[in-house]
Amino acid sequence: MTKSENKEMWKQKISAYKKSGLSAVKWCEANEEKIHTLRYWINKINKESKENSSETKWVSIQSSTIVDNYSFKVTVGKALVEIPESFNRAAFEDIVSILSKQC
């Protein structure tokens, strides 16, 4: 069995375990699996899912006005936010809050 086939098999087993409503120990006893193996695969698959979903997802926005003169720039994690002289403080705080959670 290849690694990818083994991983797919464990994804199916984990799905069956979750649908069963049994505790991990009871499910393992009923399915002749070791609890440590089940927990290993749950952690491994969850970790891979988090790594894949933590990539930055950019969203395009349309603006009705273009502002060329920025009074300052703020870096939050990997993001650079250019702030115009006249800016909406509440919107800026929301942007920084969102970026802080993402970066």
DSSP 3-state assignment of 29?
helix
- The domain segmentation of the chain, as residue ranges, is 3-53, 70-102
Note the pLDDT tens digit of each residue in 62-103.
777 665 666 778 787 777 878 877 778 888 788 878 877 765
Q: Which amino acid is at 100?
A: S
**CA–CA gap between residue 48 and residue 53 (Å, rounded):** 9
**CA–CA gap between residue 80 and residue 34 (Å, rounded):** 48
23 or 97, greater pLDDT: 23
pTM of the model: 0.50
Note the pLDDT tens digit of each residue in 42-56.
999 998 887 776 666
The answer to whether 89 and 69 are in contact (CB under 8 A) is no
DSSP 3-state assignment of 17?
helix
Would you say residue 38 has pLDDT above 90? yes
